[in-house]
């Protein structure tokens, strides 16, 4: 995952940078340079690193621990505001499938 500059800085380094700035414009520029937007899962998606997601063209419900009954697809990135799949499809909405939603073995095959 991509890290922001500020994620690797100590409080002293941030304070030193703030102290070194004299005008409001310089302070704003300094803060903008270290406070890039926080990376999200879509930043890691690519052709080489597709991410398994629930996808749809209507809004997805927030994850409440219950599996979503939509379509699963591998998302490779964003293009013109649409989530692109490895199969070349585009989706309006996507949410990575959590490890809790992926199949886990049960005792159904237990013969004891």
Q: What does the pLDDT look like over 17-60, one tens digit per residue?
A: 666 555 666 767 777 777 777 789 999 999 999 999 989 888 76
Strands (E), the chain: 51-56, 71-79, 82-85, 90-91, 93-96
pTM, full prediction: 0.59
Q: Note whether residue 93 is domain-resident.
A: yes
Tell me, yes or no, whether 45 and 63 share the same domain. yes
Tell me, yes or no, whether 45 and 65 share the same domain. yes
In degrees, to the nearest 5, what angle opens at C-alpha 75 toward C-alphas 71 and 77?
Answer: 145
Domain extent, residue 14, equals 5-34
Please check whether residue 53 is in contact with residue 73, taking contact to mean a CB–CB distance below 8 angstroms: yes
The total domain count for the chain is 2
Tell me, yes or no, whether 76 and 93 share the same domain. yes
For residue 66, pLDDT beyond 90: no
Q: What is the pLDDT of residue 77?
A: 96
Tell me, yes or no, whether 24 and 48 share the same domain. no
């Amino acid at each position: 995952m991509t890290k922001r500059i500020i994620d690797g800085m100590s409080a002293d380094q941030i304070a030193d940078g703030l102290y070194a700035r004299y005008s409001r414009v310089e302070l704003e520029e300094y803060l903008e340079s270290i406070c890039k937007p926080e990376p999200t899962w879509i930043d890691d998606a690519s052709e080489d690193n597709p991410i398994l997601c629930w996808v749809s063209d209507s809004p997805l419900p927030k994850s409440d621990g219950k599996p979503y009954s939509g379509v699963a697809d591998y998302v490779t990135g964003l293009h013109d505001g649409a989530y692109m799949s490895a199969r070349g499809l585009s989706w309006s909405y996507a949410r990575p499938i959590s490890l809790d939603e992926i199949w886990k073995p049960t005792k159904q095959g237990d013969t004891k």
